[in-house]
Structure 1
Amino acid sequence: MSKGWTRAAALLALLLAGCQRGMPPVAFHAEGRPPRLSDWHVVEARGGRLVLNRGVVPYDLNTPLFTDYAHKLRTIWMPRGVSARYDPDDTFDFPVGTIISKTFYYPRAADGTFTHVARTYDSSKDFAGEGLDLSRVHLVETRLLVRRADGWTALPYVWNDAQTEATLQRTGAVEPLTLVADDGSREDFNYVVPDESQCASCHAQDWISRKVHPIGPKARHVNKDYAYAGGVENQLAHLAKLGYLSGAPAPAQAPRDADWSDPKAPLDARARAYLDINCGHCHNAHGAANTTGLTLDWRTPEDRHLGLCKPPTAAGQGTGDHLFDIVPGLPDESILPFRMASKEPGVMMPELGRSTVHREGVALIKAWIAAQSGSCVAIH
């Protein structure tokens, strides 16, 4: 059998695989900024569904980053013959050609109004196979992280009102929405799509180089089960089986952080997982907030670096006239939950990625601080 025939057969197989889902194979663009999400053929709106192309693998996180109560569909795609290298602590080392997508969406509110979206954690009715049922959800944006030869490129695509296509919005966008809770209460807010430069403020692991890297695909975040179309399987094991991940240990030997919303998990583990994913990408030794002296990633010991009895580096409205980042046993005297509960620019934390307050997240951190023992009196 000739090599030419083999290559032709492989190409035909790829084309047929794409056609099975109604779209051409995934198109990796090594340069430039394609104007439409569909130019990549990673996820597309087809037949009332948001469809994942062949080889596009969904994944989830044990504890996700909060974004105005948005739900998120995350995916990974890689070219044939390459894989990511496992790392027990940091982001997996993804090869050139990798495309990571994250689609932000909301379940539709019961009243059927397009701009009214449900404030709920229930995603059981969102999915159609591994894609999304567009009769039940409101698509807002899909962000791509593309691994090119010179590093990662972040591309934000915003969905149109018809929910048929998403177009590149390099300068960001604002979409007015209304969150509707189960009890019928409503909260108007502006969902803000970040511009390309703002993406780097969170995704830069090193604030000196400011090179963009993924945040979520770390062993401790993705070491969990996922309900794939073919059945439930651990995500690390599934990625390894597909050839997308090399060097990974058995899931039981890999780190795993807690689900922040699991009442059966230890309070400390839940709170530390929440701070790690929501704050740790900036508040670490090399991140954008490295000058504050406050480090909130999973490596931080429970001492002053974590904020215990630590005075802020700068006074002002961001402190709420509180003296320490965390006062053990006294959440209402602590700066950390005060800033989490604010929506005021210059006060709120995180600074980007939300226009609303994560009430349940604030309650978790307050409960964690309330359970801590000790006193700041001697330091004060």
Structure 2
Amino acid sequence: MNGATRETDGLNGAGLATGAGVRPVFPFAALIGQTPLQQALLLAVIDPGLGGVLISGPRGTAKTTAARALAELLPEGQFVNLPLGASEDRLIGTLDIETVLRDGSVRFSPGLLAKAHRGVLYVDEVNLLPDALVDALLDAAASGVNTVERDGVSHSHDASFVLIGTMNPEEGELRPQLIDRFGLMVELQNAFEPQVRQAIVKARLGFDHDPAGFRAAYAQQQASYVQRIHAARAALPLLGFDDAVHAQVSALCIDAAVDGLRADLVMLRAARALAAFEQADAVTVRHVERVADAVLLHRRRQHDSPDADRRRQEGEPRPPGAADSASNDPVATTTTSTDTDWGYLPPEPTATVPVKGVIPLDAKKR
């Protein structure tokens, strides 16, 4: 490793490093108090098909630092930043139609997905990214292939990268139709333990004061991470899942009331990646339990009451009087109205005043 990570910010057409160029990176092994995040990032590196990692947390919790540090452990160490204002062509690339029409050859101008191949594609404030860009990058992250079609001309290229998206919940939530596409999610919290907080600050000050010396202290651990990642990638195809593992995954996903089967598939792949990283002979239930939180955190839903679940599964009608009791209960009426007509208030009874002196009109003859 050369102690630096090449960075593309998506603003220069040639994809060259910006600013001062090469700059030292905070070591991944030196991260403090980020064990769940480190595990999730390593699993995404070992198996990019997991769909990436969504990191939620307040400002100043080392989200960007962890993403940059991870890129250094990859073969090329390419760190590509997707800005919020990027166009779709800048992300996926574009075809030169004039060249196609002139001499019949396809000239492809690569986008950020091509530059992030075998590296890290980082999206800060992914909850503010336009839907079209999120759809494109998540599809490429899941398939490992980017396909550009324009005016009947199609071009595809490999786009295997680790997708890392960060967000601050105070600035808005990620849209429900997109959040499930991230394989893993980690929720960071502010450090309120004095010892942990002091250790983080001392490490950052030490790195800023002497980057080379600070990195040298973690060189052996960094090299160990690289070796274990390569070994884990090679071991992935050799690991399978027994019935006990499948049963545990199904039980956890059903208990979390997740939609669809994506959570089951991601949990199995994450457990396999963890087993491969730890050089285990087989995937066990314990591996499943250790990755379950990251898989289910953004997919978990609330169950209905046990009686409601049973009636729905067995097709039984509602108990007699259930509708009447609900309509007579102001709390139940409010809840029902809120569930069905979001934003509307339940009707309220008002007094009626009879009107005197009204002369009735004769009915019209037909």
- TM range, normalised to the smaller chain? under 0.3
Give the structure with the larger strand fraction. 1
TM score, norm. by length of structure 1: 0.26
| Higher radius of gyration, 1 or 2 | 2
TM score, norm. by length of structure 2: 0.27
Give the structure with the larger helix fraction. 2
